[in-house]
Each structure stands twice: as structure tokens, then as C-alpha cells.
Amino acid sequence: MARPLLILKQGKISVANHCKILIADRNRHVRELLRRELGAEGYQVEVARDGHELLNRLDGDDPPHLLILDLEIPYLDELEIWARLKDRQPPLPVVIHSFLPEYPTQLTVPLAAAFLEKKGDTDELKAVVAEVIGKHYPRQFRRVREGL
């Protein structure tokens, strides 16, 4: 009977109007910039610097609603990440934020909600994040989006 509990959790978050985003990136400065930029947008942001931290956060008590994943973080076992995300309830949308041409055949890519090439322009990332959240959580985070 895990379902009611999950619904209860979602409801709580919805009421608190907190959309939680997990950023996994190998570069500390990139992590911090994105935390600042997305935090300014009203998101609750967490960061992970490698695969271990990422898994810990995903398994933690308060899991994120969206994952921004750099495919180059250390200790990233893509197969394992994908195995965990595949049947996850509720599903966790993933935005891959990485260098474009180098990983065209990796597993996660076709399964991600969005793919964004890592560039200087952070506005683009913000737009993609908003779009993915709007699509996956059409009711919970409306006010966040309206506030943009």
C-alpha cells in the first residue's frame, strides 16, 4: 500500500509549491551557477557531483522532481541509473545537459525527457526545465510556472 503515501507526499509538495531539481555536474562552478540561476527561478535545487551522490539523492527521503544530468560526472553507471529510473513511480523526468556530439549512442539519451547541449547561455536551460516540468507535472507546479 505504497500508493496513498506517495500521493500524500506529492500533495504536500504541491501545497508547499516546491519543485525540487537535482543537478548532477562534474564542474563545481557550473553546479553552483546553475543552482543560483534556477534557485532565482523559485526552484528548490540540490546538486550532486558524481554518480554516488546522484544515487544517494535519488534514493533519499525527499527525491527530486527533475534531474539535470551531465553525462560526464564521475562514477556514472548509466545502466544502473536507467534501471532505477525506468519503473520509478512517479516517473522522474531527466534533462540531459551535456556536450552534444560525443555521446550519440548512449543509452540514456533516447530515454531522456530532453537533451540540451551545454553552452554559455543558461536561459535556454531554464526554458527547457520549465517546459519539461509543465509537461510532467501539469497541476502541481502551475503557480511556479505562472510566476516566471
Instruction: Report, in Å, the least distance between residue 3 CB and another protein.
Output: 41
Instruction: Report, in Å, the least distance between residue 100 CB and another protein.
Output: 8
Q: Of these, 9, 18, 37, 49, which contacts another protein (CB under 8 A)?
A: 37
Report if residue 110 touches another protein, rule: CB under 8 A: no
Report if residue 75 touches another protein, rule: CB under 8 A: no
Report if residue 131 touches another protein, rule: CB under 8 A: no
Joined grid coordinates for residue 27: 564542474
Q: Of these, 119, 134, 138, 147, which contacts another protein (CB under 8 A)?
A: 119
Q: Of these, 99, 111, 138, 147, which contacts another protein (CB under 8 A)?
A: 99
Long-range CB pairs of 78-87 (<8 Å, 24+ gap) are 78/106, 78/107, 78/108, 79/107, 80/55, 81/51, 81/54, 81/55, 81/108, 82/107, 82/108, 82/111, 84/55, 84/58, 85/58, 85/111, 86/111
Half-sphere exposure of residue 16: CA atoms within 13 angstroms, side-chain side = 11
Binding residues (CB under 8 A) for another protein: these are 26-27, 29-30, 33, 37, 72, 99, 101-102, 104, 118-122
